[in-house]
Chains A and B, each alone.
Chain A
Amino acid sequence: MNENLLEGEGYALSEHTILHIQQHNRGVSGPASTGARAVADIDSALARDYSGIASGILRRSSKRNALHAEQPRSAVEAESKPTRSGPERASNKSRSGVKDHSKSIRRIVEEHLNTKLIVHSPMSVFKGARGTCVMFHTPLRKFHVCSLLRRPQPLPWRGLAIGVFVLLFLALCMPAWAQQVEISGRVVSTTDGTALGGVTVTVKNTAISTMTDNNGQYRIIATGDAVLVFTSVGFQTTEEAVRGRREVNTFLEPMASTLEEVDINAGYYRVKDRERTGSISRITADEIDRQPVNNPLLALHGRAPGVVINQQSGVPGNAVQIQIRGQNSLRADGNYPLYIIDGVPVDSQPISSTGLLTVHGSDPLNTINPANIESIEILKDADATAIYGSRGANGVVLITTKKGRYGGSQIDLSVSTGMGRIPQKLDMLNTDQYVAMRQEAFRNDGVEPSGNPTDFLAYAPDLMVWDTERYTDWQEELLGGTAGVTNAQLSLAAGSQTTSLRLGGGFQRETSVFPGDFGYRKGTALLRVDHRAFDERLQVSVAVNYGADNNKLFHHDMVGEALTLPPNAPAVYNADGTLNWADGTWVNPLSHLLKTNVIQSENVVANTGITYRIWQGLSLRANVGYTVNRTEEQRKVPISASNPDNRGRVTGSGALYNHATRSWLAEPQLIYKRNLRNSRLDVIIGGTFQDRQRDNLRISTAGYVNDALIGNINAAATVNVLDEPPVHYRYAALFGKVGYGIAERYFINLTGRRDGSSRFGPNKRFANFGAVGAAWLFSDEAFFKRLLPAINYGKLRASYGTAGSDQIGDYGYWDAYTATRYTYQGIAGLTPDQLFNADYSWEVNRKLDAELELRFFADRLTVAANWYRNRSSNQLVGYPLPAITGFTVVQANMDATIENRGWEFRAAVSSRPESRLSWETALNLTIPRSELLEYPGIESSTYAQTYVVGEPITIIKLYEALGLDENGIYQFADVDGNGTIQTADRQVAWDAGRRFYGGLRQTLSYGNWSLDALVEYVRQQGQGYMRHFSTPPGFFANQPVQVMDRWQGAGDLADIQRFTQSYSYYSAYLNAINSTLGIADASFVRLKTVSLGYRLPGGIANRLKLKNASLYVHGQNLWTITGYDGWDPDRPGSAYLPPLRMYTLGIQVSF
């Protein structure tokens, strides 16, 4: 492909081009401070035959650019003084600013030599980090010409629109003298094994120097005892002693931060950040590693604009909800994004679990070790997601695991330990207040409390039987434990010139805050091998991610007890250490701990990628993946968990749930890349074949007479098999992408996909999706540079297109009978289980997106504003039908349209690159808004009480509270005037969505110290504290202190209904929860993570024979500022265990 460049007609260098020619042996940091100086250097260095050429070029250029005399110096300086962030910038700019001037170079050289140049094939042209180099033969000599192209720092003078430096290195292959030999070798990058062109190879302490070609090959003359020095921008300088060898191969390690921005994983292809046309957020290992989380998605909290992460519970293993740019489907189960791990889709639907602690199911990503992740990319707009077609509507989460290294070996070990506690408690009534509340309630109701359990309307053991002086803080007692966290990671990265390997293992253990021996353990392993062969024509990679976890829980939600147990409830243990049942007056909360629920899962994600370059820019690729997830859940409800009085009558029960998902994927692809005169073409055409099989087996057993037998199916008196039908899903697609970049400034990207899914009937099985994205790097335009030189980078980007969703149950279009759950007279019955509609089809999501990104003052300030609008229509919903049709819904596409639109802003400021105290402040802000645009017939649909046309999709319909009546009872607006308060009166459409949210990240580093903190902020209203309590104040359950502000007598202007222990006012209380009284401001600012690290000084590390060693402290969920009256403002109204406040201390060493 590169060879083609030489075949075409060359183009002239820009008028503003400066050719800077420097003698090779002085290196880039040489004293070429002015054009005139350079002339002198070159003139003296060039061999006689060539002096004319070089000076000719130089004269020509310097004549044209006499005004730019200072420019070479600044450019050279910027390159030769790498600072912490300097190399990254330099590299970015040089890479992104690369222009191919090989043809011009050739033409100019030919002109001056007055001879035909012979291309030194096949390594004649290569592009490195710094530009394009061409190797030429003249009839007599061979030499390299390199154009080192970079955009300079913004310079004040007029006329500098494109700054291009061409460095001409002449490597004269002199005949060797006696003790010197020709040494050859190859230089590759340790990260991806790519050959590095343009690396300067110098014989140490001499003027002899050369440069590698595009295959990373070099030749140099040196003595057997010489030392070779390899330098390249963006890479660490490496020295290799020759030690008599004829071949000296080496590897260059990139500077720590240079990887970050350059390449973005867009799924089927990678794209340079500056050329990207789609909306993609990226989180890298650097940020993930600083957070003590066990699920990779949790690392995204507050970091990616437009992405809402909802941790449902602080119990490890719970599914994490992720929503990318809002809710697109009316159905709660139609909003899962697509998860792709190393190119292999992983089912994103949580694995259902029955344990109350895993209410939302367990997460399919649990067994993916965050420590193995290199980056997570979140694809948001149509340009990025349309290539995923029917699976892209809700966004795509791409997880890329870490790779090995080419050359050398490195072992990384990291061990951390820490602890977690619940971050906050609710302020509950103490015993005095509680007893007073209960007594007042009985007084109010005119009922005398009774100690007799059969007086079921007056029974009050808390007042009549229990000690009314006793006090227990049940939140402390049941949830106040300290969870211990241990995490150990060991990995080996090693490789040769052509093969890299990574082997990683991790172990994690987290105990719970609940009393008793519960906790979560996880073991993971990663193997990745990359290999290049046949002159890099063949590239093969194999990655296997394995994870297994064991989640030992109990089958009950302890949080409810912690909040509602009366503060004077009895002691949990008797003096002899047995559970105290207090004569059957209560259910001892610790008895729930005996009902164990153990969830074990195993997960394998394996993939193989093979790429073969058939001819020049044309490659063939095959991506083959396989995933297995097996989850086994075992539940035991022993006799010992019941009240001793009942034990004679009770038997034990158990349940065993097995879940398995297996899927394979095959994606053949054809890739074509071609550099044209002034443009670049990038084409991918591919196909996807995916097959997924889900099996569920649920067995519940009962009637065990002895606890020891529970779990043994043969010992159960009854066995009930709930055999959920296996689900077979298949998916096929054709996809394509055409990227076209012109003049490094204009980029256009077309993507499309034709999808077929087994979830739809034969008539509707296939659908097309596509998008167009474009980007304009206007800062590279000459006029712009003149007008606003302070802006060193400016990009305008927009995209429009469609993605879809096939997230609907399988087999829905079949007119079929299903086996009945049980038999009738020994016959397995058949029953029509649904109405069928053979014609339903994909939900379609039309996405419009535009972004403006500006960087000022050499990247020190970045601001970006992104606007988006997603319209999701053709909603696949259960079309509501009257029950007289036999069923109440039929699956159908509705004309309902949901719009999610919003703004996403990013801003970052950083310190001067050379300052010793370096810092960066990055802010992201999302202002989302959703609206149900249309939904004909919503009034008669199942969503009549859920959504309102014209209102956000996040609304909740509430009763309008009208205060208390003269008896102290809640009153509500009877909208329909029928005299009763019922669902139809919930007419206040109140928005429970986020108004805005985001994160503020601050990093600081000084010497060996580094600090990284993230503050998450959310503005929203949510369900208040009442949602945690299902009974009115006055009932046999504790309440928060807020209830003390209650009605006490006629004329009271209280907010809280009178205390009552009667069911007469129960419905008024339930209505209050679902009324405007039940809502609260749930905005918060939370110090989400803090990480403080200390890196051992190099000298000490060296003495310890370590490459690197650091100590760190991480904190998670440290501090929250909120006015919220409930438990956790991040999950308003939810009474599940909040995410824990976690501290870990760790050490990380590399050797």
Chain B
Amino acid sequence: MLLVACVGCEDFVAVDLPSSKIVSDAVFENDNTAIAAVSGLYHDMQNSMGFASGGQSSVTVTTALSAGELDFYSTSFSDLGEFQQRDVNAENGSLLTLWSSAYNTIYGANAIIEGLESSTAVTPGTRDQLLGEALFVRAFTYFYLVNLFGDVPLATTTDYRVNATLGLADIETVYAQLIDDLLRAVQLLGPEYVSADRVRPSRWTAHALLARVYLYRGEWEAAETHASEVIAQTGHYTLTPLDGVFVKSTQEAIWQLIPVRPNFNTNEGNTFIPITVPVFALSEGLMQAFDDKDSRKSSWILPYEYGGEVYSVPYKYKVANGSEITEYAVVLRLAEQFLIRAEARAQLNDPAGAIADLDAIRGRAGIGLLANSAPELTGQALLDAIERERRRELFTEWGHRWLDLKRVDRIPVEAAFYPIPAEEIRKNPNLLRK
């Protein structure tokens, strides 16, 4: 009797997954679940409080501190102080979050790429779009890793047995991989957004990031070309009035992420807009960079009075929290493309073109057009003007200032790259920098 009973033992203890889980193979057996997997990737980028979240351990906050855009006021100890001092300890907790959340996103992207590449069930159109999105997200993440950390391990598979012992890939190799991913993404992604409010990348999103990558690589022509591709899409993108840039239906965004936590709008809004004691405020240096006429100063910066002092806090996002979501987190936007093209053109010895692009931004900000005030600007002076404009336009957004400072060698070499978290080196000594 007992023996008979136990013939069924094997079957008895095999339980099915609960309704909240799906076996990986099954995810890529059908369009809807495959789309859900990609949505999960964006969800996690926003929800993780990591590199792409806009929260305290995000690229936006940590690098704004390092770049001197933000001052940090806190009565309690925080890992963020080290970012402000540009002396980040390898044991820093925020650093680990920044790093590991990026690799978590890469894992997610790799899993989707592997799943889609081995799947035959997803319809080809959807498959191309999703694969393009995953390649784009992987490239986007590596872009930040390589710029924040320098040589980083290049994981392109989900196999932890392979990844756990990876060594550092040099910057060139990482760039080569991410450019390759972006070029593939351009091929795979369609020209139209597949969802409202630009919350999933389109072909132009890939172009926009390529423009930035080439700019950083000093490949001016390619940067100019890709930026122009995006700027030319006037049906999609226009420079909107300042109040319309950071709202969810903005015409300027090339890619946005939806805040996912209930009762919260963007983490940027939640982080920067003080409730009582201000934690972050724009530095004196940055404030002095603004002309008084600059409407970005009045529109994107909030004077906040506390304890008899006035703090200038970032106010691009105007909602700290609230159940109705009116703002999405803008990741890539048109203004940057103008600035990229301006810089590329300046480098390509086309000062007029550069000034025209720069004036597109200056005009919107209500400050004098260079075409009027300094049409003869060329060379380094023009590049300096572009850098200053980038500083004013792109402050506390996605690390622009920090990366610009490094591009122009304004940061000492030893502080240019954050250390690789010590925890990681303990677990994988191959990550030790030589």
List residues of chain A with CB under 8 Å of any chain B CB. 452-457, 668, 670, 685-687, 689, 702-703, 717-718, 720, 723, 725-732, 734, 756-758, 762, 765-766, 810-811, 814-825, 827-832, 835, 880-888, 890, 939-941, 944, 980, 982-984, 1063, 1066-1067
Q: Is the CB of B10 within 8 A of A726?
A: no
Chain A's closest residue to B91 (CB) is A982
Q: Is the CB of B20 within 8 A of A725?
A: yes
Q: Is the CB of A811 within 8 A of B21?
A: yes
Chain A residues lying within 8 Å of B434, measured Cβ to Cβ, are none
Chain A residues lying within 8 Å of B15, measured Cβ to Cβ, are 728-730, 758, 810
- In the complex with contacts A456-B307, A718-B262, A758-B15, A818-B21 CB distance below 8 A: yes
Chain A residues lying within 8 Å of B2, measured Cβ to Cβ, are 668, 670, 685-687, 734
Q: Is the CB of A718 within 8 A of B263?
A: yes
- In the complex with contacts A730-B12, A758-B14, A825-B258, A1066-B21 CB distance below 8 A: no
A-B contact pairs, 28 of them (CB 8 A): A454-B306, A731-B13, A732-B9, A756-B10, A756-B12, A758-B13, A758-B15, A765-B13, A811-B17, A811-B21, A814-B17, A815-B23, A817-B24, A817-B33, A819-B21, A821-B47, A823-B260, A825-B196, A825-B200, A827-B39, A831-B37, A832-B107, A835-B160, A883-B103, A884-B153, A885-B160, A886-B103, A886-B163
Chain B residues lying within 8 Å of A983, measured Cβ to Cβ, are 91
Interface presence of B118 (CB below 8 A) = no
Surface stretch bound by A, among B125-133, B400-408, B422-430: B422-430
Q: Is the CB of B9 within 8 A of A884?
A: no
Chain B's closest residue to A829 (CB) is B40
**In which size bucket is the chain B interface?**
35 or more
Identify which of A820, A830, A884 contacts B166 (C-beta below 8 A): A884
Q: Is the CB of A829 within 8 A of B20?
A: no
Chain A residues lying within 8 Å of B104, measured Cβ to Cβ, are 883, 886-887
Chain B residues lying within 8 Å of A1066, measured Cβ to Cβ, are 77
Bound: A455/B426 CA distance, A: 43
Interface presence of B27 (CB below 8 A) = yes
Q: Is the CB of A939 within 8 A of B36?
A: no
Identify which of B17, B75, B163, B261 contacts A822 (C-beta below 8 A): B261
Interface presence of B308 (CB below 8 A) = yes
Chain B residues lying within 8 Å of A831, measured Cβ to Cβ, are 37, 40-41, 43-44, 108
Chain B residues lying within 8 Å of A756, measured Cβ to Cβ, are 9-10, 12-13
- Tell me the B100-136 residues at the A interface (CB within 8 Å): 100, 103-104, 106-108, 110-111
**How many whole Å from A587's CB to the nearest CB in chain B?**
14
In this complex, the member of B111, B426, B427, B428 whose beta carbon has the largest number of chain A beta carbons within 10 angstroms is: B427
Chain B's closest residue to A620 (CB) is B1
Q: Is the CB of A882 within 8 A of B1?
A: no
Chain A's closest residue to B422 (CB) is A984
Bound: A260/B152 CA distance, A: 69
Interface presence of B369 (CB below 8 A) = no
**How many whole Å from B49's CB to the nearest CB in chain A?**
13
Chain B 382-400 interface 0/1 with A at a Cβ cutoff of 8 Å (1 = within): 0000000000000000000
Q: Is the CB of A885 within 8 A of B18?
A: no
Q: Can you name 9 extra interface pairs (CB under 8 A) apart from A730-B14, A882-B424?
A: A668-B2, A723-B20, A725-B21, A811-B18, A814-B23, A816-B21, A881-B163, A882-B164, A1063-B76
Chain A residues lying within 8 Å of B307, measured Cβ to Cβ, are 452-456
Interface presence of B6 (CB below 8 A) = yes
In this complex, the member of A702, A757, A888 whose beta carbon has the largest number of chain B beta carbons within 10 angstroms is: A888
Interface presence of B431 (CB below 8 A) = yes
Identify which of B43, B91, B424 contacts A829 (C-beta below 8 A): B43
- In the complex with contacts A817-B24, A883-B96, A980-B89, A456-B18 CB distance below 8 A: no
- In the complex with contacts A685-B2, A884-B428, A980-B89, A814-B21 CB distance below 8 A: yes
**How many whole Å from A722's CB to the nearest CB in chain B?**
10
Identify which of A670, A717, A885 contacts B323 (C-beta below 8 A): A717
**How many whole Å from A623's CB to the nearest CB in chain B?**
14
Chain A residues lying within 8 Å of B431, measured Cβ to Cβ, are 882, 884
Chain A residues lying within 8 Å of B44, measured Cβ to Cβ, are 820, 829, 831
Interface presence of B213 (CB below 8 A) = no
Interface presence of B413 (CB below 8 A) = no
- In the complex with contacts A725-B18, A817-B40, A886-B106, A765-B10 CB distance below 8 A: yes
Q: Is the CB of A720 within 8 A of B10?
A: no
Chain B residues lying within 8 Å of A818, measured Cβ to Cβ, are 20-21
Chain B residues lying within 8 Å of A453, measured Cβ to Cβ, are 307
- In the complex with contacts A456-B75, A822-B261, A888-B100, A703-B323 CB distance below 8 A: yes
Identify which of A668, A718, A881 contacts B5 (C-beta below 8 A): A668
Bound: A818/B47 CA distance, A: 15
Bound: A506/B96 CA distance, A: 54
Chain B's closest residue to A810 (CB) is B15
Bound: A885/B18 CA distance, A: 26
Interface presence of B372 (CB below 8 A) = no
Identify which of B1, B10, B111, B426 contacts A832 (C-beta below 8 A): B111
Interface presence of B370 (CB below 8 A) = no
Q: Is the CB of B111 within 8 A of A689?
A: no
Q: Is the CB of A1063 within 8 A of B77?
A: yes
Interface presence of B42 (CB below 8 A) = yes
Q: Is the CB of B75 within 8 A of A732?
A: no
**How many whole Å from A875's CB to the nearest CB in chain B?**
18
Chain B 174-203 interface 0/1 with A at a Cβ cutoff of 8 Å (1 = within): 000000000000000000000110011000
Bound: A980/B92 CA distance, A: 13
Q: Is the CB of B16 within 8 A of A728?
A: yes
Interface presence of B158 (CB below 8 A) = yes
Identify which of A734, A762, A820 contacts B40 (C-beta below 8 A): A820
- In the complex with contacts A830-B27, A880-B427, A881-B164, A824-B277 CB distance below 8 A: no
Chain B residues lying within 8 Å of A822, measured Cβ to Cβ, are 43, 47, 260-262
- In the complex with contacts A726-B18, A811-B18, A885-B195 CB distance below 8 A: no
Interface presence of B19 (CB below 8 A) = yes
Q: Is the CB of B424 within 8 A of A883?
A: yes
Chain A's closest residue to B261 (CB) is A822
Identify which of B22, B41, B43, B89 contacts A816 (C-beta below 8 A): B22
**How many whole Å from B278's CB to the nearest CB in chain A?**
11
Chain A residues lying within 8 Å of B9, measured Cβ to Cβ, are 732, 734, 756, 766
**How many whole Å from B406's CB to the nearest CB in chain A?**
23
Q: Is the CB of A730 within 8 A of B77?
A: no
Interface presence of B35 (CB below 8 A) = yes
Bound: A762/B6 CA distance, A: 16
Interface presence of B155 (CB below 8 A) = yes
Chain B residues lying within 8 Å of A940, measured Cβ to Cβ, are 426-429
Q: Is the CB of A728 within 8 A of B18?
A: yes
Interface presence of B220 (CB below 8 A) = no
Chain B 137-173 interface 0/1 with A at a Cβ cutoff of 8 Å (1 = within): 0000000000000000101001010011010000000
Chain B's closest residue to A731 (CB) is B13
Chain A residues lying within 8 Å of B277, measured Cβ to Cβ, are 456
Chain B's closest residue to A886 (CB) is B107
Q: Is the CB of A886 within 8 A of B43?
A: no
Chain A residues lying within 8 Å of B12, measured Cβ to Cβ, are 689, 730, 732, 756
Chain B residues lying within 8 Å of A821, measured Cβ to Cβ, are 43, 47, 260
Chain A residues lying within 8 Å of B260, measured Cβ to Cβ, are 820-824
**How many whole Å from A752's CB to the nearest CB in chain B?**
13
Chain B 232-274 interface 0/1 with A at a Cβ cutoff of 8 Å (1 = within): 0000000000000000000000000010111100000000000
Bound: A884/B77 CA distance, A: 28
Interface presence of B214 (CB below 8 A) = no
- In the complex with contacts A730-B12, A731-B13, A725-B33 CB distance below 8 A: no
Bound: A718/B91 CA distance, A: 38
Q: Is the CB of B13 within 8 A of A886?
A: no
Q: Is the CB of A824 within 8 A of B21?
A: no
Q: Is the CB of B427 within 8 A of A829?
A: no
**How many whole Å from A440's CB to the nearest CB in chain B?**
21
Bound: A826/B135 CA distance, A: 23
Chain A's closest residue to B430 (CB) is A882
Chain B residues lying within 8 Å of A720, measured Cβ to Cβ, are 262-263
Interface pairs A-B: 8 shortest CB-CB: A886-B107, A454-B307, A829-B40, A883-B100, A831-B40, A725-B20, A829-B39, A822-B260
